[in-house]
Structure 1
Amino acid sequence: MSSTPRTKPQVRLEPITEADLPELAAGNLDAFPTFYDPLEPESRRPPHDVRVRRFAHRLKSVVSSPHVLATKAVLASSPSASSGPDDDDGDNKQGSLVAIALWHRPGAPVRNTKRRNLLGDAPEGETKEDREAWEHVDLEAWEKVWREWDEVRESVMGDTPHWYLVPIWVKPAYQGLGIGKALMQQVIDLCDAQSPPTPIYLEADKRGKPLYEKLGFVEVGESEYVEMVRYNKEGTRPLP
């Protein structure tokens, strides 16, 4: 098992490419098991490698969407033996992916790019591989959760252009070292360059909420994944 590095590693922020999709898919499943497991029932769930491959295929349309900014943090150099994690899998080499963030850009439709039409209303031009990628997924439950989140976001943000973070994760061995904050700061800086700043919307779990509050986010909802908005660096809401 990897141990936490004792010194902060240097990372670069780069666009996610199609070659990163298997690692992105596996990372999503590892980071959010309590979210994805109920949507992919165990009785229908394939072996893990097949599950990852199918998820990676579904993520192609997400990463390639013009409405999405997909960013990865990679190690700028290999950590030294004294400062890097004890990682037998080679995940601490220069160029290794250690974190990701997916963002919907301002002006994107209030519809999560992970959503899919229900069976019987499949997208035009869908291939056999496209259909296979969804075989084990409970499509009704999948659509329900994303639709409900979209409805809440629309009720909060209305027609206001905003960034939407969905999701962000950092590999366990690199958590607590400012990498997640660096991924957040990429978009926060873009927002704060505008006058007034462009808002950012996200759904936070209990672990991430304290970090988001430090970055100026305020609660706007009360679901299991707390809805939060960053209107400005002061963490205040605009006057009605």
Structure 2
Amino acid sequence: MANHQETLVKTPTQKPATAPRVSKYTLPVEEANRLKDEEIQIETCTVDDVLAIAEGLYICFPDSFWDKMEPPALRDADLATRAKRLATRLSASFYLPEMKYIKAVYKPTGQMVGVAGWMLPDGEGMPIHNVWRRTATKFFGFQEMMGWSDADIEEMWRGIDLEAWEKQIGGNDKIRAEVLGDEPHWFLAPLMTMPEFQGRGVATKLMNWAIEQADQKGGQPMYLESAPTARNVYMRFGFEPIGDANFLRRGPDGKKGKLWREVVAQEEGEKGCVDIVEKEVEDGGSELK
């Protein structure tokens, strides 16, 4: 196989926010704040984007996620080092034909303001094995593909609680396998919007990119894991909860359906905000949870 190691993590670093990131319930998108269609362009990411994506994940995902997976007692104090290790781990997945990362670009500045990673149901479908998992290195043959040494692999996983990592992400794979079996499907992992662009319709554009294609192909199933704070967002797109954090969508017929309205009404209680459906995914959307 080709050795892709020379292409890794070459993009300049951004400075992640130092304030703690916490999960917050998503808020309605104010129409005045929504970006115009001509201001946002959806593009395919390349491996040159991987470091910026990794840095964005540390910015967007809440501390509660990272502290569980990378306990302060184990991890490096330098966030740039942690982001570089994550970028290296994720870089191999860019060479899988079934894995597609897309980005929302704010055209006035050329800034990447949101990213979605989709495992596609092309051919026989992507096997149920999340590329975030430590075991993905062997499962997908990443070590040979990238020319990684054993020392490289040890370094890129340094500071991770591997037991907690596998329990979280591998456990979600087990649930996905129980729900879908061998059925080809779309899988979202992850979705994020940069903080200064949250609440402006970015995540909706990233979601619609995949939903439109899945619906055009006969309503292919779509699956994701989400933080509880974003559940109403995904239900708006027709995803139905099948657990605390697991969601499944089968075709366009369920969009804004009865189950979604019932759950929103129940959760909103006295607020009765059933008609507030234009929401934005915040704090990373899918928390791999």
Category of TM-score, reference length = shorter chain? 0.7 to 0.9
CA offset at residue 70 of structure 1?
0.4
Equivalent in 157, 179, 182 of residue 205 of structure 2: 182
C-alpha separation between the residues in 1 aligned to 2:34 and 2:254?
A: 30
- Letter of the aligned partner of 1:163 in structure 2? W
C-alpha separation between the residues in 1 aligned to 2:143 and 2:110?
A: 36
- Letter of the aligned partner of 2:118 in structure 1? W
Cα offsets for 1:179-238 (capped at 9, x unmatched): 10110011101111122x10100012123211211111111113xxx211111222189x
1:232 match: 251
TM-score relative to the length of structure 2: 0.68
CA offset at residue 64 of structure 1?
2.4
1:109 match: 127
Distance 1:215 1:53, change over 3 A: same
Say yes or no: does 1:34 pair with 2:57.
no
1:84 match: none
C-alpha separation between the residues in 1 aligned to 2:161 and 2:143?
A: 17
- Letter of the aligned partner of 1:215 in structure 2? F
Aligned-partner SS, 1:160: coil
Gaps of 5+ in 1: 78-93
Say yes or no: does 1:193 pair with 2:216.
yes
- Letter of the aligned partner of 2:127 in structure 1? P
- Letter of the aligned partner of 1:211 in structure 2? V
Number of aligned residues: 214
1:20 match: 49
Aligned-partner SS, 1:30: helix
The answer on whether the counterparts of 1:40 and 1:137 sit within 8 Å (CA) in structure 2 is yes
C-alpha separation between the residues in 1 aligned to 2:136 and 2:107?
A: 42
Equivalent in 63, 81, 95 of residue 64 of structure 1: 95
Root mean square deviation, CA, Å: 2.5
Displaced runs of 4 or more, over 3 A: 4-7, 121-126
Higher relative contact order (CA 8 A, sep 6+): 2
Aligned-partner SS, 1:208: helix
Alignment of 1:72-221 (within 5 A): 72-77=103-108, 94-106=109-121, 107-117=125-135, 123=143, 126-127=148-149, 128-195=151-218, 197-221=219-243
Aligned-partner SS, 2:105: strand
- Letter of the aligned partner of 1:146 in structure 2? I
Distance 1:156 1:43, change over 3 A: same
The answer on whether the counterparts of 2:130 and 2:136 sit within 8 Å (CA) in structure 1 is no
Which of the two has greater helix per residue? 2
2:35 match: 8
The answer on whether the counterparts of 1:118 and 1:143 sit within 8 Å (CA) in structure 2 is no
CA offset at residue 167 of structure 1?
0.8
- Letter of the aligned partner of 1:67 in structure 2? E
- Letter of the aligned partner of 2:58 in structure 1? L
Deviates more, 1:20-29 or 1:104-113: 20-29
TM-score relative to the length of structure 1: 0.81
Aligned-partner SS, 1:14: strand
Cα offsets for 1:69-125 (capped at 9, x unmatched): 100111112xxxxxxxxxxxxxxxx21110000011110000001112399x99565
